[in-house]
Structure 1
Amino acid sequence: MINSYTCNEDGGKLNMSNLKKEDIIVVDKKVAKQTVVVTSLGNAMEWFDFGLYAYLAVTIGKVFFPEIDPAHQLIYAFATFAIAFIARPLGGLVFGMLGDRVGRKKVLSLTLIMMAASTLFIGLIPSYSTIGIAAPILLLIARLVQGFSTGGEYAGAMTYIAESTSDKKRGFLTSGLEVGTAVGFCASAALVTLLTYIIGPDRMVEWGWRIPFLIAGPMGFIGFYLRSRLEETPAFKAMEEAKEEDRHRASLKEILTNHWKPLLICLGIVFFYNTSLYMVLTYMPSYLTQELGYSETKGLVFNLLVMILLIPIILGMGYWSDRIGRNKIVKGALIGTILLSVPAFIMISSNSNLVVFAGLLILGITLAAFQGALPATLPSLFFTKVRYGSLAITYNISTSLFGGTTPLVIAWLVSLTKNSMVPAYYLMAVCIIGLVVVGFFVKETAGRSLRGSAPTVDDPREIDELLKNPDKALWWKEELPVEAVVEGKFNSNVTAK
């Protein structure tokens, strides 16, 4: 194990054996809140763009795949939705590694512009009846660009907020990112619902579906302007201020070699997290319409109301994750999902609007627990120099393999088995795996500094308490990869056994 060393993992001279007052980062509360609001707003715009496709999946199937049997149009539409996730790992790799080199802020501005441009392009694509097979091909290209940009967006936003907030409030403030996600989905669902109600399903197929996509352009430029005015994170600035010879940029090989354990843990967490996310937010409206026979408007309204109610619940879960621990929140949600999935889907299959809504709300509350706690958990798995890249790569690989394909896989399984309870069984199996991952491999990080970073506070009065307990404040010091330290990759003076 590592006995003693002077760690420069963040680019600064942080002495593990003698934590000093100047080592502790004090963040401005006002700046931290502004960071959360602007980053979350940008994230909301990104997920507004992304959510449009999910909520217009039935209509898109009719516009771009009119010659396909109506029973399979949704599968083709969701296949095009899922195809974008092929590009997400590549986007995560490119933007993640870039974010660890040039900064979080610059990359987040770029991803937002790319998403807005590709979404605007979708709204301009002629229909199949106009240009034939070229229409779905162009749609596919636009979806790939969306996936590529999204690959760097969410992991970067999590990293940015986690590095800009104090240790004791990280759960609550990072949960604001998921509020942005919910607001983006709500806005897209509300707009689609309103348009469908005003002009009707037929006109939506003819031309109405284009309107939400055309709004993306102006929104993207607004988001870009707001993000460009943000400051870089304290952790990244500390690394940049180090002398050139003291700085070391981690390579992909180094990440895979020296950080393989947190990579695998992250894959497992994102597996159950995004399966639940895409089940509730993107699949359920189509499930209600195609499998249970509800009108498109009613299915969207139900899902929209659930998402609106989830916003304060997400913030509440983030708040309590700082006080009782993130792992307790996540474990409780996993157990709740395992026990309540079947009852929830039985309720959703009923003919009572109130009971259907209650079933959707049950699934939404367990999802809200994940959304409140996990945005602070995931960045804490990695050291600062590899945080953006490692998180972006693993998050997007897992999302592409399991989360983003959830609507397609579930739609196919339901079609194959003719069993409307398949989504419940699928969700239960995923959460059982998640319970094993969190229960055995995830350390509690509530109130603790990020790995590789000095403690961060927003009240100078907390400094004395931290100086009295340096080992607690720098709890991660024994976790530095021995191989990386010995080879000088963390620029540390090491005595290793």
Structure 2
Amino acid sequence: MTTTISRKDKAAARAERRRLAAMRGRRRLRMDDVTVVDESALKKAVWGSVVGNFMEWYDVGVYGYLAVILGRVFLPDASGTIQNLFSLGVFAVTFVARPLGGIILGQLGDRLGRKQVLAFTLLMMAAATFLIGILPTYGMIGALAPALLIVLKLAQGFSTGGEYAGATTFITEYAPDKRRGFYSSLLDLGSYLGFAAGAGFVGALQVMTSEGFMYSWGWRIPFLVSLPLGMVALWFRTHIEDTPAFVEAQAAAQEEQDGNGATTPVTRLGDVEDAIIATENGPLGLGALVKTYWRELGIVFVLVAAANTIAYALTSYMPTYLTTTLGYDAVHGNLLTLPVLVVLALLVPVSGWLGDRIGRRHVAVMAALAGVLTAVPAFLLMGHGQVWSTVLGLLLLVVPVFLWVGNQSSSLPAMFPTHSRYGGMGISYNLAVAAFGGTAGLIMEALVASTGDRLAPAYWIIAVELLGLLAATQLRESARQPLLGSMPTVASEDEAQELVAQQEENPDLDVEELFATAPVSVIAQEPSAQEAAVEVSVAEQAEQDAREALRRAEAATAEARRAEELARAREEAVQV
């Protein structure tokens, strides 16, 4: 919808932009601008986020390691290839609903709060996983069984669409700037431990029970266990508070809405520049979000595609590949990847720690290069056919995966400002996971089936990793820096005092950029003596520039008058 505005309103909008720019230019960091993290609140936030992701990936691990069995249970009359493709296809269908969940839950998370939406996603995930455990099989209700399985996986996908985007947003907003990478990477530590727990549970059942038991109702047990696990995780998640950054952003938005903050002129919907001003402290709608941050959304999309193609190849596709392509039995195909998953989980925080020190962009480039260089050797080693070579090949794939996932949990949310961070992550992350992560196993299995080449998955990985390398070079560096639209976050009062005292010399703090994206309520305050001095200096320079411009204008006017007089004199001389 387009609203016509008058020239007077346009002039008021321009004046407002100039006023805001002037206030941003003179603002300097003060002690009350800096958020000092409460250690107990940070620990609760970390645990509340980690247990939720543990629950989400527990289900991914369970389904991935039961994929062969589920194919035969829900499609018993089909060929082995069709059964495998069905299981992997159902897994991919889960990701169809993720973008929708990311868009809806992301917008709600930016409006209602991170905590409430994250509690909902966890409850929905646990319920859907439990219902799969009590789902009737094909032998009981025929074709309705696989249809119901798809419906429940879609419900899981919808909830997961808001889970990772919200959890990463939550942790990054809580963590101190200097250790954001490490704390955020703990989220993925929980993810892969959850995956390993689900895979280990399935593997233990397969070892301790018979094949007939697993095909009858043993496959249900791991899904049923999700309900009590989900309740424990929900307890943790409901005992945390929303992030200080979100609370401050909400308070600032409410202050402006009540008319206590800076006046914001009415502007035309759909105009990106006006949309930014009109929603200075509030979340952007979907259309304005895409128009304003299309470049950031695109970079995040490609980075997530590169990370999840190889990550899902290692986690969800490997049990199927080892069993159907390399000829391992189902038990050994599952168990061979378990130690690899544990190694991966323990290495993930190393990537986050590394990003805090050398920068997120450098780690992302390393991850992409590692993916390109290790893909073919890894699949060649697995194809050698020995247990040692298979494990070594899997460990090679761990290198790019841990570099990617441990780094992206802190680097990707930092691409968006506080008021639209959840929404931005919800769209870009889930679209990429749906297009590349969820379909990774299906694409790779189809490539192997159609070409007969065991290295076909490696070629697909290399192609996507090369795109990821290009996007990594465009990643905004955010290590040790405040998040967009947020003030600095530190671990202690001493660190806050040092930050304020050395703000002009700090290489990790760009004061001009910090206040260029700060909410209006932050910059529209009475200036300190230092800020007033800066404002005087700027005003004096502007006055000097204006006087110089006036002098040049007067000289130009005088010159024009002389030229006019000379012209008149020449014309009069000709007439005489």
**Quick check: 1:329 aligned with 2:359?**
no
The alignment status of 1:118 with 2:154, answered yes or no, reads no
Q: How does 1:387-398 map to 2 (within 5 A)?
A: 387-398=421-432
One-letter amino acid matched to 1:130: M
> Which residue does 1:147 correspond to in 2?
157
> Separation in 1 of the partners of 2:492 and 2:176?
9
Matched letter for residue 446 of structure 2: W
Query: C-alpha distance in 2, partners of 1:130/1:16?
Result: 72
RMSD over aligned Cα, in angstroms? Answer: 2.4
Whether 2:102 is the aligned partner of 1:66: answer no
Any conservation in 1 of the 2:185–2:352 contact (CA below 8 Å)?
yes
SS of the equivalent of 1:443 reads coil
Letter in 1 for 2:342: I
Q: Residue type of the partner of 2:46?
A: V
Once the two structures are superposed, residues 325-370 of structure 1 have per-residue CA deviations (whole angstroms, 9 ceiling, x without a partner) of 1222221121122112111110011122111101101101220111
Name the counterpart of 2:326: 292
1:375 pairs, out of 409, 415, 435, with 409
Q: In structure 2, what is the Cα distance between the partners aligned to 1:347 and 1:401?
A: 28
1:89/1:16 Cα in 2 relative to 1: closer, same or farther (>3 Å)? farther
The 5-angstrom pairing of residues 472-487 of structure 1 reads 472-474=508-510, 477=513
Correspondence for 1:339:
373
How high is the TM-score relative to the length of structure 1? Answer: 0.92
CA apart distance, 1:152:
0.3
- 1:337 partner letter: G
1:210 has 2:258 as partner: no
Instruction: Identify the range of structure 1 (199-208 vs 150-159) with the bigger mean alpha-carbon deviation.
Output: 199-208
Q: Compared with structure 1, are the counterparts of its residues 476 and 152 closer, same or farther at alpha carbon in structure 2 (3 Å cutoff)?
A: farther
Distance in 1 (CA, whole Å) between partners of 2:360 and 2:236 is 30
Matches within 5 A, 1:411-490: 411-439=445-473, 441-467=474-500, 468-469=502-503, 472-474=508-510, 477=513
Q: Are positions 1:249 and 2:283 aligned together?
A: yes
2:96 aligned counterpart, secondary structure: helix
Q: State the Cα distance separating 1:4 from its structure 2 match.
A: 7.7
The answer to whether the 8 A contact 1:50-1:146 is kept is no
Confirm or deny: 8 A CA contact 1:321 1:373 kept in the other structure: yes
Match of 1:304 in 2: 338
How far, CA to CA, are the matches of 1:280 and 1:214 in structure 2? 25
Which residue number in structure 2 is paired with residue 279 of structure 1?
313
Task: Name 2:142's counterpart in structure 1.
Answer: 132
Alpha-carbon shift at residue 188 of structure 1 (Å): 0.4
Letter matched to residue 350 of structure 1? H
- Aligned twin of 1:358: 392
Counterparts in 2 of 1:469 and 1:421: CA distance versus 1, 3 Å: same
For the 8 Å contact 2:370–2:399, the answer to whether it is kept is no
| CA spacing shift, 1:450–1:148, aligned 2, 3 Å | same
Find the residue that maps to 2:485 and give its secondary structure: coil
Q: Name which one, 1 or 2, has greater alpha-carbon Rg.
A: 2
Percent identity between the two aligned chains? 38
User: Following the alignment from structure 1 to structure 2, what is the Cα–Cα distance between the partners of residues 14 and 150?
Assistant: 39
Name the SS for the 2:209 alignment partner: helix
Q: Output the amino acid matched with 2:200.
A: A
Q: Is the 8 A contact 2:487 2:514 kept in 1?
A: no
Separation in 1, partners of 2:126, 2:26 = 45
Select between 28-37 and 17-26 the one with higher mean Cα deviation: 28-37
| Distance in 2 between residues matched to 1:412 and 1:402, nearest whole Å | 14
Aligned to 2:12: none
AA at the equivalent of 2:98: R
- Tell me, in whole angstroms, the C-alpha distance in 2 between the residues paired with 1:411 and 1:491: 55
Cα deviation, 1:42-88, whole Å, max 9, x if unaligned, reads 21012112321111110000000111111221001111111111111
TM-score w.r.t. length of structure 2 = 0.80
1:92-121, Cα deviation, whole Å (9 max, x unpaired)? 011100000010001000000000000111
With over 3 angstroms needed to count, the CA separation of the structure-2 counterparts of 1:476 and 1:379, relative to structure 1, is: farther
Contact between 1:248 and 1:489, CA under 8 Å: does it hold in 2? Answer: no
Larger RCO, structures 1/2 (Cα 8 Å, 6+ apart): 1
> Distance in 2 between the 1:36 and 1:329 partners?
23
CA distance in 2: counterparts of 1:415 and 1:372, whole angstroms: 33
1:351-396 C-alpha deviation (Å, 9 max, x unpaired) = 2211110110110122011122110001100000000011011111
Counterparts of 1:492 and 1:293 in 2: how far apart (Å)? 68
Structure 2 unaligned regions, length at least 5: 1-15, 262-280, 526-537, 539-576
Within the candidate set 378, 382, 396, 1:348 is matched to 382
Q: Is the 8 A contact 1:4 1:17 kept in 2?
A: no
Distance change >3 Å, CA 405–CA 341, structure 1 → 2 = same
Which residue of 98, 106, 115 maps to 1:105? 115
Paired with 2:377 and 2:19, the residues of 1 have a C-alpha distance of: 54
2: CA distance, partners of 1:125 / 1:285: 23
The residue correspondences of 1:313-328 to structure 2 (distance < 5 A) are 313-328=347-362
What residue identity is the alignment partner of 1:133? A
